Each structure stands twice: as C-alpha cells, then as structure tokens.
Amino acid sequence: MAAALRSFYFCIVFSAYCFSFALAEDDSQFIYNGFAKAELQLFGAFVHDNGLLQLTNTSMQYIGHAFYRFPIKFNTSSSQSLSFSTNFVFAMVPRSGYYGGHGIAFFISPSTKFSGTVTAGSYLGRFNISNHGLPTNHILVAELDTVEHTEFQDIDEDHVGIDVNSQISVDSAPSAYFSDEDKKNKSLALESGNPLKMWIEYNGEEKLLNVTLAPIGIPKPSRPLLATSIDLSQILLDSMYVGFSAATGSDHYILGWSFNKTGQAQNLNIKDLPSLPKPGDNTKHSVKPSLPFIVLIVAAVVVLTTIGGAVYVVRKKKYEEIYEDWEREYGPQRFSYKSLYKATGGFKDTEIIGKGGFGKVYKGVLPNSNLQIAVKRISHDSKQGLKEFVAEIVSIGRLRHRNLVQLRGYCRRKGELLLVYDYMPNGSLDKILYGSMRPNLNWFQRIRIVRGVACGLLYLHEEWEQVVLHRDIKPANVLLDADLNGKLGDFGLARLYDRGSNPQTTNLVGTIGYLAPELLKTGKATTSSDVFSFGAFMLEVACGRRPMEPGEIDLVDRVIECWKKGSILDAGDPRLEGIFAEEQMELILKLGLVCSHPNPAIRPSMRQVMQYLDGDAKFPDISPDSNVIGAFTETNEASNTMATFSSLFESSSSHTMSTIDSIIISGR
Ligand SMILES: *[C@@H]1O[C@H](CO)[C@@H](O)[C@H](O)[C@H]1NC(C)=O
Ligand SMILES: *[C@@H]1O[C@H](CO)[C@@H](O)[C@H](O)[C@H]1NC(C)=O
Ligand SMILES: *[C@@H]1O[C@H](CO)[C@@H](O)[C@H](O)[C@H]1NC(C)=O
Ligand SMILES: *[C@@H]1O[C@H](CO)[C@@H](O)[C@H](O)[C@H]1NC(C)=O
Ligand SMILES: *[C@@H]1O[C@H](CO)[C@@H](O)[C@H](O)[C@H]1NC(C)=O
Ligand SMILES: *[C@@H]1O[C@H](CO)[C@@H](O)[C@H](O)[C@H]1NC(C)=O
C-alpha cells in the first residue's frame, strides 16, 4: 500500500515537473506579496485564502516544503550568472502545548523530490547517512534555527546559519540585526510570532553570500548579519529550484517572497502582505484549488510514514558526526558528539581552557561518569590520510604513562576532529612559570616536573612498542595535575598535524627556541632533536626564562657566560630567591646545556638523562672552557670536538643515537 502511494506520489511530482517546462517563461525573477496567485510546488505546505503560505501545521506535526514551481537557470561557467538576490517575510508562531518548531530553511536544490527513505523527513528531505555532506548533493541552505528552544536546554540563542550539502553550518551567527539608528547590533527572537524579514544576496564576482535579518517596517540594515565567502560555482548546477522548508512544532509562515537573478530583488510591499491568523483563530484553511488536494494528502502520508525517522534526524542534527565502517574497531575510543557537546555545555566560550596551533581546548565533565575531560577541537579539512590520522590517534590512546596526558578517545565530524584528554586541573606549566601567581613553583616542584617530563619522554622514545617522537616539547605542552606532577601533552600530534595539512611534504613543526638546528636544516625530527627541546625546556624551568627573548641574550649563552665566570648558579630563576639545592641546580643547568648542544652527536639519550637526574650515573666533569662548550658559539668546531665529547657518554649507556625520521606507529 505504501509503495503504491509512493509511486502515485512520484507520478504526480513527475507530471508537475513536465508541466513546469510547458509553462516556463522568465523564471529568473518573481515577487509575491502574498501567495494567492503564486506558482508554487507544495509538499505538506498550503496557502490560506488570504494568500498566507503555511509550511507546517501543528496538528499534523509534519514537515512542509514549498518551491517556486520553475527551476532557476544558473550558468555555472560564468561567475556573474551565479549572483542572485532574494528577500522574504516569515513568521514562526509557537503553539502552546507543543515543543516549538525547528525553524525555517531557505534552500536551493537541484530537485524537489524526496528520496523516499526513512530520512526523507530530515530538514531538507535530502540528507541521509550515506549522502550527508557530499558535494554531489548540490544544496545551499540558509537556516533560521530555533532548535535549542526545544528538547535541549536553552544553550544558544536562535541563530542564522549557512549550510552547504549538509546540515552542519559553514557559518552562523546568533539572530540579530544591525540597527543603523542606534549603531549597534540588536538581537531578535525568531520564534516570537512576529513577522521578520530576511535578505539573502549572493554576488558571484565577489563570491560573497550576505544574509541580513530585520523586523519588518525598518529598511534593510546597512550591515549584513552574515557575509560569508563561498564559491557557489562548486555548489549550484545549471538548473536549481528555490524554496522553503520547515519541520514540526510551530506554525511556520511565509508572508511574501521576492527573488531576482538579474538584479536586486524588489522590496515587498508590507501593506499588501497577508495577515497572520489571530491567536486562537481556528478558521478553516482551505487549500488552494490550483494544487490537487490529493497531493497534499499523499505527501502528508509519505511524510508521516517517515516521521519517526524525521524527528530523530532533526533532533540528531545538532549532534551530527561522521562515522565510517573502518572505525568500528575503534569503538571504545570513539566518543559520541552528543556526549562531548553535553560535557562541555555546548562548547561554550566560558569553557575554553586553552587555544593553540591545533585549535581550542574546552573543559568538560562526561555526563555518565563525572570524569573531567579536556576536549581539543582540531579542524581537519583533508579527507586524505584521515584513516591513518585516526589510526594514529587510537594508537596514541594506547600509550599509558603517568607522565603523559592520557588521550581517551576521539570523535569525528565534518571538517573537524575532537580529541578527548584527561583534564589537568593546574593547566600548563608556562602559565604558572610566567603567571602572576605568587609564590611561583618552588625548586622541589620544578625538579619533580623536569624529572616527570624526562620520564614520559623516555617512555615515548624507548619504552613503548614503537618510537614516538614528541616534536614540540616546551612548557606550554607540559600540563600539571592536581598534585603539580608534570605530564607531557600533545605527543605525536605534531606529526599528525603535518599529515593533515599535506601528506606529501613534511612541514616543520615545533617552536623556535626549542628546535634543534639540524632539524631546521633537514626537516628531519629524531629522538635527538626531542632531546634538544628537552634541554631548552630544562634550562627554562631552572632559569624561569624563555630560550629566546627579543632584545635579550639567548638563555644558553647566558648560562655559559655565568658558568665561565665561575658562578653558574647565578643563571637560576631569581624568583626562587636562592632557595634550591645547589648541586641539583648545577646539574640541571649543565645537563640542559649538553642536551641542547648544537651537535646532535654530543647530546645524551633520554635514558642517559634519566640516569644523571636520578644520580645513577655521574655527570662528567666538564670545564666551561673546554672546546665542547665552546662549540656552542663556534659551531664550525663542533666536528672536531665531537669525538672527544661523545666518549664522555659512552661509558654510561650503549644506546645509539636514533635517526628514525618519523614516528612509527600502528605497524606502518
Ligand atoms: C492541518 O491540516 C489538516 C489537513 O490538511 C487540516 O484538516 C487542519 O485543519 C490543519 N490544522 C491546522 C491547525 O492548520
Ligand atoms: C555560460 O557562460 C559562458 C562563459 O561566460 C558562456 O560561454 C556560455 O555561452 C554561457 N552558457 C549559457 C547557456 O548561457
Ligand atoms: C540517501 O539518499 C540518496 C539520494 O537522496 C539515495 O540515493 C540513497 O539511496 C539514500 N541512502 C540511504 C542509505 O538511505
Ligand atoms: C554585530 O554583529 C556582527 C555579526 O555577528 C559582528 O560581526 C559585528 O562585529 C557586530 N557589531 C557590533 C557593533 O557589535
Ligand atoms: C555584502 O556585505 C558586504 C559588507 O559586509 C558588502 O561590502 C557587499 O557589497 C555585500 N554584498 C552584497 C551582494 O550585498
Ligand atoms: C530584478 O532586477 C531588475 C534589474 O535591476 C529589475 O528591473 C526588476 O524589477 C527586478 N525584479 C524583481 C522581481 O525584483
């Protein structure tokens, strides 16, 4: 029965389609002050006697669409021909006893047909799990979204968004307009029941899509709400339908609509617009006779059969994520977007605890376990290498060490990757080291942090199944737990990062001042270049100063200078006020210098560093005037000194220098 109805329905759509060709004239512009005589294709929507277009009908709780009957001709090979201008007046009237609607979407789509699948009822009736987000959808949407007012606690204001081929906005803003009178933004409640006006304008040459909102009765604000750079030549096809869609809940009305491809769409004549039904007005809505009543009924039936899926999908919209078959094996590490969204209070700005090269970091609490987490949002636009990317993340998630920040899992959305870490209550070391907090870290705490980080790095280099390079060791990437234990964060990400941007080339990742000179030359990271960064890090923690600061002598040179004067301890952080174990300070400073030696062959391995820190090996007695230390300033002598100095370290370990040029993870 359902199948029969559906084919019947398609027949009708099909004949409407053929009919449209017969009538097509100048389809590039129209203006409707009320829809009494409008050329529309309606699905679930209907036109009142007074010309008011109603997209949804509360009592039926269905989804309504209304299209301009004829396709609009674009010429995708000429950017100018992609320009269009449209404006319309709409109203969303909530009904008591209902949740409220999900808003109205203006859209441009290659067809007016539903796919007829379970997800046909989703916002546009065109996205489902398999085609969501695909460029072959060719759909552009400007949505007036009120979804937060429904089943989710009011998290955001109403907003206006632009969506391309999917239901995830490429750009959005809280609904507001710029008041030219008061020279400031004023917010607008979309679902107030009052008519509002919206302008959508695209300039094909500037490739700029402007969306402007305002109450009716005031002229178009001089500043748009959204001005989004977007190239529609990849999105539009030569023949596209324009229309509206709305789903469930409120009564969604369109009062008038003007569209123009050849110039600016004329303004609607507010006086001629149909009035909205008065609250409690139950007058019968008669269906416009030009549209067979049966289409409405059948469309409603088709839509109703899919309503379960529809409501589900619309609710899911906010939490949409990408999940592919190959991710199945990562089940335990895969977080749902919904849980992360809830954990972080909807990624509220107030929950941001850090911003880095990779993206913003949010604090959150997982709803079920009350576990405190930090969620890092990384934008990731390349499809290439994504599988390896995720495989590496999962692999990194298997690293377990008390001096590494635990990566618990990930979640994937379109263009975005979210990484879930344990939350570190004391934040990053650099914030404390250079923060205004007094007293600053004492010597005992600093030594423990240095030792902890060394321990974590040793694990990455030598104690796990594979060698993992950190590639960006610095105080900003060392996080402190509640007991001020130092934990290395962001390990392996540097590598992932350059794969994400371009898998063919290796970008130099790291931070100036912590980058080994040979890495700058060759671009090849090694365990030894990590040791270099660790050396710079050690000196920084002991001296309370960054490796390089504008207008100041480099930290390494300052330490050597003090050493040569016979007072190496003077290089220590003055904020320690002389309270530290002198032997330890001396060791940290000298070890730091040797680790950040310009010649990689002279640097010790992390295992040796650990042995010196723990007193299991005696740090060799070097004189500051030895040509080894001299080599810091006269790098051309480095090769001469290499042989003698590396012998100093040979006694304590048989470790040979690693020249692995990338992290090897997950069996690649
Ligand atoms: C909803 O649609 C049905 C069927 O078209 C109609 O009978 C009913 O009056 C409408 N209700 C409202 C509130 O518009
Ligand atoms: C589309 O634009 C191109 C480039 O301006 C032009 O050569 C072509 O004739 C146009 N096609 C149509 C159907 O107007
Ligand atoms: C998704 O929609 C497309 C086009 O609308 C359709 O061809 C495809 O079969 C649908 N896939 C699923 C899984 O429903
Ligand atoms: C008004 O809102 C727009 C869009 O959200 C924003 O770019 C602009 O800075 C705001 N202007 C003022 C004066 O607040
Ligand atoms: C869009 O808005 C910008 C200002 O934000 C303006 O410069 C531009 O001309 C506008 N474009 C259109 C097509 O209205
Ligand atoms: C479309 O733009 C042209 C050129 O500016 C103008 O003459 C015409 O009146 C406009 N039509 C509508 C319906 O806005």
Q: What is the 3-state secondary structure (H, E, C) of 226-280?
A: EEEECCHHHCCCCEEEEEEEEECCCEEEEEEEEEECCCCCCCCCHHHCCCCCCCC
Atom of ligand 3 nearest to the CA of 126: 5
Q: Which of 28, 73, 81 to mutate to test the pocket of ligand 2 (most atoms within 8 A of CB)?
A: 81
How far does Cα 198 stand from its chain's mean position?
Answer: 27
Q: Is the CB of 371 under 6 A from ligand 5?
A: no
Nearest CA to ligand 3 atom 11: 130
Q: What is the pLDDT of residue 92?
A: 86
Structure tokens at 407: 């990566």
The H-or-E segment that residue 559 falls in is helix 555-564
Using alpha carbons only, what angle is made at residue 512 by residues 507 and 517, rounded to the nearest 5 degrees? 80
Length of the chain in terms of residues written: 668
Q: Judge if the beta carbon of residue 267 lies within 6 A of ligand 6.
A: no
Query: Beta 239-247 vs 72-73: how paired, if at all?
Result: antiparallel
Give, for ligand 5, the residue of 203, 210, 223 to mutate: max count of ligand atoms closer than 8 Å to Cβ.
Answer: 210
C-beta separation of 368 from 380 below 8 A? no
On whether 288 is known to bind a ligand per the annotation, the reply is no
Round to whole Å and give the CA distance between 530 and 537. Answer: 10
* Ligand 1, pocket-test mutation among 50, 53, 57, 98, most atoms within 8 A of CB: 57
Token pair belonging to 623: 């004189």
> CA 455, CA 647: separation in Å to the nearest integer?
24
Residue 439: is the preceding peptide bond cis (ω within 30°)? yes
Q: Where would I find the H helices in 306-442? A: 307-316, 337-343, 386-397, 429-433
* CA 56–ligand 1 middle distance (angstroms): 9
**CB-based contacts of 29: which residues, under 8 Å, 6+ apart?**
259, 260, 261, 262, 263, 265
Which amino acid is it at 649? F
Nearest-ligand number for the alpha carbon of 59: 1
Verify whether ligand 2 is closer than 6 Å to residue 239 (CB atom): no
Per-residue pLDDT, 48: 92
How far apart are alpha carbons 270 and 506 in whole angstroms?
A: 59
Contact status, residue 614 vs residue 582, Cβ threshold 8 Å = no
Query: What spacing in Å lies between the alpha carbon of 341 and ligand 4's midpoint?
Result: 26
**C-alpha to C-alpha distance for 35 and 52, rounded to whole angstroms:** 6
Task: Looking at the CA of residue 131, tell me the nearest atom of ligand 3.
Answer: 1
173 lines ligand 4 (CB under 6 A): yes
The values of phi and psi at residue 18, to 5°, are -65, -45
pLDDT recorded at residue 286: 42
| CATH number for the domain whose boundaries are 317-423 | 3.30.200.20
Looking at residue 300, the DSSP 8-state letter turns out to be: H
From its phi and psi, is residue 490 left (phi > 0), alpha (psi between -120 and 50) or beta? left
| Other Cβ atoms within 10 Å of 113 Cβ, number | 17
How far does residue 295's CA lie from ligand 1's centre (Å)?
A: 14
DSSP strands (E only) in 346-499: 352-355, 360-365, 372-379, 407-413, 416-422, 478-480, 486-488
Q: How many CA atoms lie within 13 A of 409 on its CB side?
A: 16
Residue 108 CA, ligand 3 centroid: distance in Å:
19
Instruction: For ligand 6, say whether the CB of 260 is within 6 Å of any of its atoms.
Output: yes
CA distance 52 to 502: 53
Q: Please give the span between the terminal C-alpha atoms of the chain, in angstroms, as a whole number.
A: 54
Find, among 167, 77, 88, the residue nearest to 129 by Cα: 167
Q: Which CATH superfamily is domain 425-666 in?
A: Transferase(Phosphotransferase) domain 1 (1.10.510.10)
> Do the strands 372-379 and 360-365 form a parallel or antiparallel pair, or are they unpaired?
antiparallel
Residue 318 three-state SS: helix
Please state the atom number of ligand 4 nearest to the C-alpha of residue 173. 5
Contact 306, 397 (CB under 8 A): no
Closest to 377 (Cα-Cα) out of 427, 326, 343: 343
Q: Is 596 in the pocket of ligand 6 (CB under 6 A)?
A: no
CA atoms of 338 and 613, how far apart (whole Å): 45
In angstroms, the CA 236 to CA 353 distance is 40
**Strand 360-365's sheet: what is its strand order?**
352-355, 360-365, 372-379, 416-422, 407-413
Enclosing H/E stretch for 294: helix 293-305
The minimum-distance atom of ligand 6 relative to the CA of 262 is: 2
CA of 372 to the centre of ligand 4 (A): 34
Q: How far is the CA of 130 from the centre of ligand 3 (A)?
A: 6
DSSP string, 498-556: HHHH-TTS----S-TTTS-HHHHHH----HHHHHHHHHHHHHHHHHTS-S--TTS--HH
What 3-state DSSP class applies to 145?
strand
Residues whose beta carbon lies within 6 Å of some atom of ligand 1: 57-60, 285
Active-site residues: which are they?
Answer: 472
What's the pLDDT at 149?
33
Which atom of ligand 1 is the closest one to the Cα of 54? 14
Q: For position 212, what pLDDT does the model report?
A: 96
118 CB under 6 A from ligand 6?
no
Residues near 7 by Cβ (< 8 Å), separated by ≥ 6? none
**Ligand 2 contact, 78 CB (< 6 A):** yes
Helix axes 386-397, 493-501, angle to 10 degrees: 170
Distance CA 189, CA 191 (A): 6
Separation CA 252–CA 190 (nearest Å): 11
Candidates 207, 215, 139, 142; CA nearest to 181 is 215
Q: Which ligand is nearest to the CA of 207?
A: 5
CA of 277 to the centre of ligand 1 (A): 13
Does the predicted TM-score (pTM) go above 0.75? no
| 85 φ/ψ angles, rounded to the nearest 5 degrees | -145, 135
Q: How far is CA 20 from the centre of its chain?
A: 42
Please enumerate in sequence order all residues whose Cβ is within 8 A of that of 66, keeping only pairs 6 or more positions apart, or say none: 40, 41, 42, 43, 45, 53, 55, 243, 244, 245, 254
* Alpha carbons within 13 A on the beta-carbon side of 514: 22
Q: Which amino acid, one-letter code, is at 530?
A: D
Indicate the fold that domain 30-272 takes in CATH: Jelly Rolls (2.60.120)
What are the tokens at 189? 């409640």
pLDDT at 639: 40
Domain borders along the chain are: 30-272, 317-423, 425-666
Looking up tokens 């329905």 gives 9
Which atom of ligand 6 is found nearest the CA of 263? 2
Residue 650: CB atoms within 10 A of its CB come to 10
Could you tell me the distance, in angstroms and rounded to a whole number, from the CA of residue 148 to the centre of ligand 5?
29
CA–CA separation, 270 and 145 (whole Å)? 24
State whether the beta carbon of 153 lies less than 6 angstroms from ligand 2.
no
Give the Cα-Cα-Cα angle 209, 170, 66 (nearest 5 degrees). Answer: 70
Residue of 131, 138, 165, 325 to test ligand 3 pocket, by largest number of atoms within 8 Å of CB: 131
Contact 320, 166 (CB under 8 A): yes
Residues of the chain with pLDDT under 70: 1-27, 57-63, 95-102, 113-133, 147-157, 167-168, 247-249, 279-294, 297, 301, 305, 308-332, 356-358, 380-386, 437-439, 491-510, 627-668
Ligand nearest to the CA of 133: 3
